[in-house]
Structure 1
Amino acid sequence: MHISRTGNFGKAIAVAAGLVAGIATSAGAADLPKSLIWTAYGTTSSGYAQSVAMGNMLKNEYGTSIRVLPGKNDISRMTPLKVGKADYCACGIASYFGQEGVMQFATPDWGPQPLRVIMTSKGSFGLGLAVAGDAGIKTPADLKGKRIAWVRGSDALNIGAEAMMAFAGLTWDDVTKVEFPGFKDSIDGVINGQADAAFSSTVSPHLKRLAASPRGITWTPMAADDAKGWSQLNGVAPYFSPTKAVVGAEISKDKPWNGAGYPYPILVTNAPRSADEVYTLTKALVEKHDAYKDNAPGAKGWHIDSQSFEWILPYHEGAVKYFKEIGKWSDAAQAHNDGLIKRQDVLMKAYAAYKATNPSDDEFKAGWSAARIKALEAAGLPVGVK
C-alpha cells in the first residue's frame, strides 16, 4: 500500500507539473494572434519554403496560422507590410534599402521605413562574383580591365558586384560594364564569353551550367582579416560580412570559399508592432528551432548562434527583450541598436523635410539622394549605399 500511495502521489505531481507546463505554454502563446500574414519571395524560393516551415511549427506548437503571401519583387513584398495588410516580411536585402529610402524606395510613395528585425537566417552559402575559370582572375585585383555583368533594374545585384570590386579598390570605371536584361542572362553571358564575371549566390542553379561549361567557374578569395579590403567593400555595401561558404558551384566543406555574404531571409516588421507579440514569436523561433530546421533548405540558419546582433538594421524591442533574457544581448549590441534607431530617425525627418518642399517627380530621386547624404553627414553618420 505504501508503494502504491507513493506511486499515486508521484503521478499526481507529474500531472500537476504537466498542467503547470500547459498553463505556461498557453500564457506564452497568448501573445501570438490566432493568425498572422507574412510576405516572402516567390513560391519556388528558399525564403518562401522557410516561411512555410516556420508557419507549420507555429501552427503545431502554438495554434497560430501563418498565411504566406509570395511577392514577385521587393515592392510587392514590402507594400503589404507598409500599408498594414501583412504583419511580417521574410525579406531580402531590400529591407535595408527600405530603411535607407534608396533605390526603388527613393520615391514620393516610399522613403525611409521604420523597420525592425526579428531574426535572420545565415546559411552556409556565399554571395559574390562568379568568375569564369579561364578569365585569369585569381584575386579581386585581377578584375581590373575585365568584363563584369551589370543587370538592368537589379540594384542588389549591381551594388553587390560594385562591392566585390571595391574590395580591391576598383570601381565600374576600372572594368568593362556589360549590360544584361536579367540575372539568368548575366550568367548566360559569362558562359557564352560575353562577360568574365557576374554577381550571384553560390547556390544559384544557373551556376551549375557555368561550372559544366568549357569556361568553368572559380571564386576569388577575400580574406576575412583584410581590414582594408573589407573597409572598402563595406563603404559601398555595409550589409556584407566575411563568410566561409561551404555549399555552391565548385564549393564544398572540403573546398570552401572564403568570401562574402549576408543573411537571407531577414524577418522584419514595423517598429510599432506589439513588443509582447514579437517577444513570443522570437522565443518560439529560437526554442522550437529543432521543429523546423530540417523542413526547408536553409532553415538551420535561424539558429540563435547564427544571429548577428550588430548588423545594419535595428532589432525590435520585443526581440531584444528575449535576447536579454537568455543572455545573448550585450551592452555593445544595445549601443549599436540605439545608433541604428537614431539613424532611422535622422532619415525619416530628412525625408519629411525634403518632401515638404514639393519637388517634382522628375527631380525627386536626385534631390532626395542629396538631402539624405547631407542629413547623414550632418549627424556624423556613414552614408552607406547611395
Structure 2
Amino acid sequence: MRQLSRSLITAALPLSLLAAGVTQATEVDLPRTMAWTAYGTNSSGYAQAVAIGNMLQNQYGTSVRILPGDNDVSRMTPLKQGRVDLCACGIASYYGAEGVMMFADRDWGPQPIRVITTSTASFGLSLAVAGDLGVETPADLKGKRIAYIRGDDALNKGTEAYLAFGGLTWDDVERVDFPGYARSFDGIIAGNVDASFTTTVTPPAQQLSSSPRGISWPVLDPDDAEGWERMMAVAPYFRPHEVTAGAGDVSADNPVPSASYPYPIVVANEDLDDKVAYGLIKALQDNYDDYKDAAPGAVGYAFEYQDLQWVIPFHDAVVDYYEEIGVWTEEMQAHQESLVERQELLVATWDAFLAEAPDDEDAFREAWMQARTEALSNAGFDPVFE
C-alpha cells in the first residue's frame, strides 16, 4: 500500500530524479485567452482557479475566464461541448470518465477526458461523526444512523467506502435519507442521525464541532491493508492521507490518519492542443510560488502532491513534461497505458451499445451498466461500478 500523505510520489522516486526537475528545454506557449469551468464563486476550487488565472495573466499574458457551475453536470457540459478548455472539477470527473452514476445517461456516457493536474491539500474527506458516540474507527459505525443524501452520488459513495473500510455495508447501519447535504448536519446536531460524509474543513462540520454533540473523525489505519483494499474496491480514487486541518482539534500538531482524493481535479478533453496542455503543467510547476498562498488549498498543486498513478489518465503532453523532468517511470507508463486502454474500451462499448439501447430511461441505465460490466470484465478490468 502506497503511503500517500504529504509526499505522494517522493517515496517511490530517488532523490536524484526529483532534483532533475529543473530542465527548461521547452518554453511555455499558451493562448491569449482560455475558459475554465469551476465550482461556485464561494468555493475553494473557484478561488484556486482565479489564483492560477492571475498567475497566467501576470507571467504569460493569458487571460482566463472562469465559469462557475452549480453542479457536476453544469461544470462538465461546457467541456463536453468544447466551449471551455478545462474543468476544475470534483470526483465527478472520474464518474464521467467511467460513464457511471449521473453519466450513465443517453446524453453522456464515458467521457474521453485527461488530467492536467490535481490539488491535494491538508484537509481530508471523511465521515463526520457525532462526538458523543465514542466512534474511533469505521467498524464502530455498526448499528449507527448514517446520512444518505438523495441525488448526491459522490457523497453516498464516500460513505459506502468508509463503511467498507470497517467491513460494513449499508445493511449494517440505519440509513437516514436527507434531501440535501446541509440538512444532514442539522440532523446530526438535532440528534436525528449520527454521521454524514464531508470534507474535514467544511462549515457544517465546524458547526457540528461547536454543538453539544461535538465531532469526531474515524481513524483509518494506514497499515490496515485489508481495510484499504475493501475501501478502494468501492472507491479506488481514495488514498491514505494524514489530515492536518479539520473541525474539532485536527491540526498539524494533532493530525488524523484518514483518507482523501484530489480537489480540484483539473481535466481537459483528450484532444486539447499539446502545446496548451504542456504549457499549463509547466507554468503551474515553474510558477508555483506565485499562486500557492493566493487561495485556500492552492498549496496542493505542488509536485510532491501529484499522484502519478491515479484513476484518470494524464494528457499525453503532461506525460511528456514529466518525462522531460526525469520523474516518469516505466511503472507509471504501464499504468497510464492501462488507463487509456480502459477508457478506449469504454467509449467503444458505449458507441456499440447506443445502436440497440432501450428507450426507457431506467432500462437504458440498467442495460448500459450490464454492457459496461461485461466489456470491462472480459478485458480483465475491474468494473468497480456494477
Q: Give the TM-score, by structure 1 length.
A: 0.92
Matched, 1:331 2:333: no
Partner of 1:365: 365
Matched, 1:137 2:135: yes
Distance 2:132 2:349 in 1: 48
1:256 offset after TM fit, Å? 0.8
Out of 37, 44, 47, which is 2:45 matched to?
47
> What secondary structure is seen at the aligned counterpart in 2 of 1:89?
strand
CA contact (8 A) 2:129 2:216 kept: yes
Distance 1:357 1:349 in 2: 14
Distance 1:259 1:283 in 2: 31
> What secondary structure is seen at the aligned counterpart in 2 of 1:134?
helix
Partner of 1:193: 191
What amino acid does structure 1 have at the position aligned with 2:99? G
What amino acid does structure 1 have at the position aligned with 2:112? P
Distance 1:97 1:44 in 2: 24
Matched, 1:375 2:375: yes
Partner of 1:239: 237
Distance 2:189 2:366 in 1: 36
Partner of 1:183: 181
1:263 offset after TM fit, Å? 0.5
Query: How many residues of Structure 1 are paired with residues of Structure 2 in the alignment?
Result: 361
In the TM superposition, 1:72-87 aligns within 5 A as 72-87=70-85
Distance 1:225 1:313 in 2: 25
Partner of 1:343: 342
Partner of 2:272: 273
Gaps of 5+ in 1: 1-23
Gaps of 5+ in 2: 1-23
1:361 offset after TM fit, Å? 3.0
Distance 1:276 1:254 in 2: 43
Partner of 1:355: 354
Partner of 1:99: 97
After TM superposition, the runs of 4+ consecutive aligned structure 1 residues lying more than 6 A away are none
1:385 offset after TM fit, Å? 3.2
In the TM superposition, 1:1-386 aligns within 5 A as 28-29=27-28, 31-250=29-248, 251-362=250-361, 363-386=363-386
Partner of 2:5: none
Output one character per residue of 1:48-80: Cα deviation in whole Å (capped at 9) or x when no partner.
000000000000000100000000000000000
Distance 1:385 1:117 in 2: 21
Distance 1:378 1:321 in 2: 31
> What secondary structure is seen at the aligned counterpart in 1 of 2:280?
helix
> What secondary structure is seen at the aligned counterpart in 1 of 2:357?
coil
Distance 2:104 2:129 in 1: 32
Distance 1:264 1:139 in 2: 24
Distance 1:332 1:276 in 2: 25
After TM superposition, the structure 1 stretch with the greater mean CA deviation from structure 2, 339-348 or 350-359, is: 350-359
Output one character per residue of 1:215-247: Cα deviation in whole Å (capped at 9) or x when no partner.
110111101111100000001100001010000
Partner of 2:20: none
Q: Give the TM-score, by structure 2 length.
A: 0.92
Distance 1:361 1:51 in 2: 39
CA contact (8 A) 2:357 2:367 kept: no
What amino acid does structure 2 have at the position aligned with 1:240? F
> What secondary structure is seen at the aligned counterpart in 2 of 1:128?
strand
More RCO (CA 8 Å, sep 6+):
2
1:172 offset after TM fit, Å? 0.4
Distance 1:57 1:90 in 2: 16
After TM superposition, the structure 1 stretch with the greater mean CA deviation from structure 2, 249-258 or 95-104, is: 249-258
1:306 offset after TM fit, Å? 0.7
What amino acid does structure 2 have at the position aligned with 1:169? G
Distance 2:262 2:288 in 1: 17
Task: State, as a whole percentage, how many aligned pairs show the same letter.
Answer: 54
Distance 2:55 2:281 in 1: 13
1:28 offset after TM fit, Å? 2.7
What amino acid does structure 2 have at the position aligned with 1:293? K
Output one character per residue of 1:183-216: Cα deviation in whole Å (capped at 9) or x when no partner.
1011111111111111010000111111111111
Partner of 2:14: none
Distance 1:371 1:385 in 2: 12
